[in-house]
Structure 1
Amino acid sequence: MTRPKFSAVLFDCDGVLVDSESITNSVLREMLIELGWNISQEECISIFIGKALKDQWEPILVHTGVRIDEQWIAEFRQRRDIALRKNLQAIPGVLDAVKRISTLYGDKLACATGADRAKVEMQLSITEIAPFFGNQVYSGMEYAQSKPAPDVYLAAASGLSVDPRQAAVVEDTVTGVSAGVAAGATVFGYCPGGPISSTKEELLTAGATEVFTSMDQLPGLLAQD
């Protein structure tokens, strides 16, 4: 009989459950160009993917002379959300994978993201993934420190009443893997390839126990016979 290998599974959202990173990053790059920073797509990905925008004000200040504030971030979120509502899709294969994992783990699933709550709840709703997580959705912006600090994963484990050292974390960025490792969890790195994706080597160096390339592989990694 197949049994769960861990006490719970904690999923990142962007890049793991929903294919949002390229959409969000394109909006950010457009707004940075408007500020006078002729930033390339590659550089924008390298600097900002997987990190909270509010924590990345310094490179923006250096390149534009503008210290972004809450009003600027609010405009970014508004424009970002319009683009997400129009273009967002689930990561290929993730609905089936999460369904299979939910069958195995029951209600011991959580979504732990560095993004703002409004964004993640909107994305989970659009892609019809929300029912698998119920009220177990955690935003790193609601804690003292966001990823790579472990706060959001520690909160998710606490919300599920499990020891974080007995939990599995599913992440796709170095920042997120670092957060999961800092929480004491076993981290599985998702590496589908492409310009947005961290490399297998980067994820392993950050502390991922194993790296997988397709969501249909994930249920098997989280189960034991």
Structure 2
Amino acid sequence: MPPTPASIRAVLFDCDGVLVNSEGITNQVLCQLFNDAGWPLSYDECFAIFHGKAVRDERARIEQATGQPLTEDWMARFYALRNQRLGAELQAIAGAVEAVRELHQRFEGRIACASGGDRLKLDLQLQKVGLYPLFEGRIFSGQELPRNKPHPDVYLAAARALGIFPEQCVVVEDSVPGATAGLAAGATVIGYDPHGLYEAPMRAAGVRHFITDMATLPAAVAALA
């Protein structure tokens, strides 16, 4: 039988909004492109729709709102503009680099990055903030699996690659879809919610542990282990 959840042996990190400040940048690009395409979204509306989700996961809504198909050419334009902005503006979440380093050492390398984002963005972002060497060989994109978040596939793949039961993993997430994925995998989820915006819906999804500062993550993990 799998071990109890208290037997923590690995930490699995979401990327966007947990390790890097990419979500605001990406949603600014999306908002502008959708407005150009005839969908009059505000930034807050755009963020509410796409927080924790891949653009392709909202294909039906996008096509209905714009009256246009979501083509590969449109996606390529989005990726190009997004990556240009990320390359110029991306920063690590305060305290994230130090927390990852400490947990990498504590768990003897048994950490992974498991994101719903595309592989190119993951690699770009982790390299930009200096975290790539700590995650190299243990970076997982939900877009390369049969199902993306909120399904558990990406977290199950990460745990399997580490040789750890999902029940032995802590997942660090900042969104309801991501938290749902971690819980469905059987992991213990720590919600990162620095502004108190998502604690209520994450609690409703089943999350019981929260932090508001990434610098406190190692202590929060230690309390579970």
TM-score normalised to structure 1 length: 0.94
Task: Count the aligned residue pairs.
Answer: 219
1-side partners of 2:80 and 2:41: how far apart? Answer: 21
Is this contact kept in 1: 2:11–2:171, CA < 8 A? yes
After TM superposition, the runs of 4+ consecutive aligned structure 1 residues lying more than 4 A away are none
| Residue matched to 1:138 | 140
| Residue matched to 1:216 | 215
Long gaps (5+) in structure 1: none
2-side partners of 1:16 and 1:207: how far apart? Answer: 19
Is this contact kept in 1: 2:110–2:162, CA < 8 A? yes
**Residue of 1, 18, 27 corresponding to 1:16:** 18
Is this contact kept in 1: 2:29–2:81, CA < 8 A? yes
Amino acid at match of 2:76: A
2-side partners of 1:160 and 1:70: how far apart? Answer: 34
- Give the 3 Å change call, closer, same or farther, for CA 56–167 of structure 1 in structure 2: same
| Secondary structure of the structure 2 residue equivalent to 1:222 | helix
2-side partners of 1:151 and 1:5: how far apart? Answer: 21
Is this contact kept in 2: 1:14–1:20, CA < 8 A? yes
Amino acid at match of 2:20: V
2-side partners of 1:171 and 1:22: how far apart? Answer: 16
2-side partners of 1:133 and 1:63: how far apart? Answer: 38
| Residue matched to 1:190 | 192
| Residue matched to 2:121 | 119
TM-score normalised to structure 2 length: 0.94
| Residue matched to 2:99 | 97
Correspondences of 1:1-225 after superposition (within 5 Å): 6-193=8-195, 198-224=197-223
Which deviations, in whole Å up to 9, do the C-alpha atoms of 1:95-154 show, x marking residues without a partner?
Answer: 111111112111100000000011001100000011111210000000000000000000
Superposed displacement of residue 209, structure 1: 2.3
Long gaps (5+) in structure 2: 1-5
